[in-house]
């Protein structure tokens, strides 16, 4: 069922050096399926690689380039030996992390923490080619069938939605069932999906913070029940933690938030927001750190200790795709309007340049054959 014998791929060689190249169309191996990729979202990590050629200490090698993309969906075009569940023509969301399935973490069900994980479009244990190409092969167990009511666009959004599902599920599990006041820092795609997931899982109220007014305006159109507050930029040179402490009483008073929020989700990775997220949690509350950050953010350890704030890290997801699909299929969570810009695969460079500019109104960019 191969639709084309050409496998156009977006290959990154160095910062800004993104080339569209033809790659061989691979046949699926044992327990694998071949997928014609129909939609792929640009993630923040893709953009980091495109701009900097690195994330953390891992630097892209021009002699060993990498295909970008990991937020994808598509249609099965061939099945390999041993495939039990999927057939040609099935529409699937692709879970892009290949874990070993045998280490201690995998056996605990925490396969997102597998030390040998090969995650698409990541240099860790790689480089690992991503899904921003016309055809890919993936293990059957990482390909999640899409209901007829969900589009390829929806399917590609299952990856960032799974991040939100994983974060909210773990955070709410650490709180009493009646504790459901939520604050989210960062109104980008992950922050919006965290807020939407929190409501779907029983949040009584949720507030989104951002410095970008247009993103907060979009947040209100996407989630009418959410509250929003625009934060001022921290003055250059100011200590980020001092700034957060200064802002805290004004925020709590303006939002009538009393002692703080039951659950706080930090989705930016910015030093100022990391400090603020830990201060916004009520006594005995939980702060979930989703944004990766630079690794050396100042933290209010006094508040964490004396207020017994539980701090959780969140790395991708595990076992979250089925829940993400069910939330959308059931109508508990809507994705309508999140994809604001669409590009053909041939126009991938233009898509990344649009993402890099950060134009007003851009939320999620997707690339593909919709």
- The DSSP letter of residue 133 is B
DSSP 35-77: EEEEEEEPPHHHHHHHHHSEETTEE--TTS-EE---EEEEEEE
Pairing status of strand 58-59 against strand 54-55:
antiparallel
* The pLDDT of residue 205: 96
Whole-angstrom distance, CA of residue 206 vs CA of residue 198: 8
* The pLDDT of residue 196: 99
Band the pLDDT of 81: cuts 50, 70, 90: very high
With 90 as the cut, is the pLDDT of residue 239 above it?
no
With 70 as the cut, is the pLDDT of residue 164 above it?
yes
Over residues 151-170, the mean pLDDT reads: 99
Across-strand partners of 367?
40, 343
Whole-angstrom distance, CA of residue 86 vs CA of residue 33: 8
* The pLDDT of residue 297: 87
* The pLDDT of residue 369: 87
Task: Decide: 69 and 121 in contact? Cβ < 8 Å.
Answer: yes
Q: Which two tokens stand for residue 1?
A: 């069922």
Band the pLDDT of 294: cuts 50, 70, 90: confident
* The pLDDT of residue 56: 85
With 70 as the cut, is the pLDDT of residue 4 above it?
no
3-class DSSP state of 184: strand
Averaged pLDDT score across all residues of the chain: 96
Task: Decide: 207 and 277 in contact? Cβ < 8 Å.
Answer: no
Band the pLDDT of 295: cuts 50, 70, 90: confident
Over residues 153-182, the mean pLDDT reads: 96
CATH architecture of the domain with range 162-313: 3-Layer(aba) Sandwich (3.40)
Q: Out of 3.40.50.300, 3.90.550.10, 3.50.50.60, 3.90.180.10, which CATH number does the structure's domain 6-145+338-368 have?
A: 3.90.180.10
Whole-angstrom distance, CA of residue 90 vs CA of residue 145: 7
Band the pLDDT of 1: cuts 50, 70, 90: low
Over residues 316-344, the mean pLDDT reads: 98
Task: Decide: 97 and 116 in contact? Cβ < 8 Å.
Answer: no
Pairing status of strand 261-266 against strand 58-59:
unpaired
With 90 as the cut, is the pLDDT of residue 46 above it?
yes
With 80 as the cut, is the pLDDT of residue 236 above it?
no
Domain ranges of the chain: 6-145+338-368, 162-313
With 80 as the cut, is the pLDDT of residue 292 above it?
yes
Whole-angstrom distance, CA of residue 222 vs CA of residue 193: 10
* The pLDDT of residue 177: 86
* The pLDDT of residue 3: 59
Band the pLDDT of 335: cuts 50, 70, 90: very high
3-class DSSP state of 98: strand
Element (H or E) spanning 209, and its range? strand 205-210
With 80 as the cut, is the pLDDT of residue 179 above it?
no
With 90 as the cut, is the pLDDT of residue 5 above it?
no
Q: CA dihedral defined by 259, 265, 269, 271, rounded to 10 degrees? A: 0
Band the pLDDT of 240: cuts 50, 70, 90: confident
Task: Decide: 172 and 314 in contact? Cβ < 8 Å.
Answer: no
pTM above 0.85, yes or no: yes
* The pLDDT of residue 273: 95
Band the pLDDT of 237: cuts 50, 70, 90: low
What confidence tens digit (pLDDT) does each residue in 116-158 have? 999 999 999 999 999 999 999 999 999 999 999 999 999 999 9
Q: Which two tokens stand for residue 80?
A: 């390999």
Over residues 294-318, the mean pLDDT reads: 95
């Amino acid at each position: 069922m191969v639709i084309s014998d050409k496998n156009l791929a977006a290959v990154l060689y160095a910062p800004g050096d993104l080339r569209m190249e033809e790659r061989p169309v691979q046949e699926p191996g044992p327990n694998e399926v071949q997928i014609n990729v129909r939609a792929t979202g640009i993630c923040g990590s893709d953009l980091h690689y495109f701009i900097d050629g690195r994330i953390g200490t891992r630097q892209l090698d021009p002699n060993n380039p990498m295909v970008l993309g990991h937020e994808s969906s598509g249609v099965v075009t061939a099945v390999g030996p041993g495939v039990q569940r999927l057939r040609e023509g099935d529409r699937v969301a692709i879970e892009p992390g290949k874990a070993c399935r045998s280490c201690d973490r995998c056996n605990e069900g925490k396969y997102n923490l597998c030390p040998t994980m090969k995650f698409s479009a990541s240099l860790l244990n790689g480089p690992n080619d991503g899904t921003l190409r016309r055809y890919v092969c993936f293990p059957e167990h990482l390909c999640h069938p899409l209901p007829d009511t969900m589009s390829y666009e929806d399917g590609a959004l299952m990856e960032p939605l799974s991040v939100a599902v994983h974060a909210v599920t773990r955070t709410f599990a650490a709180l009493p069932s009646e504790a459901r006041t939520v604050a989210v820092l960062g109104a980008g795609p992950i922050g919006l999906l965290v807020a939407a997931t929190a409501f779907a899982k029983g949040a009584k109220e949720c507030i989104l913070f951002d410095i970008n007014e247009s993103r907060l305006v979009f947040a209100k159109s996407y989630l009418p029940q959410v509250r929003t507050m625009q934060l001022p930029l921290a003055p250059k040179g100011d200590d980020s933690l001092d700034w957060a402490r200064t802002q805290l009483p004004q925020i709590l008073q303006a939002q009538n938030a009393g002692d703080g929020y039951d659950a706080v989700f930090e989705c930016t990775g910015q030093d100022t927001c990391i400090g603020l997220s830990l201060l916004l949690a009520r006594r005995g509350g939980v702060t979930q750190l989703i944004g990766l950050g630079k690794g050396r953010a100042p933290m209010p350890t006094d508040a964490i200790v004396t207020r017994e704030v539980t701090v959780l890290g969140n790395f991708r997801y595990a076992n979250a795709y089925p829940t993400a699909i069910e939330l959308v299929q059931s109508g508990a969570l809507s994705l309508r309007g999140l994809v604001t810009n669409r590009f053909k695969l041939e126009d991938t460079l233009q898509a990344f340049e649009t993402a890099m500019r950060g134009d007003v109104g851009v939320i999620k960019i997707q690339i593909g054959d919709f």
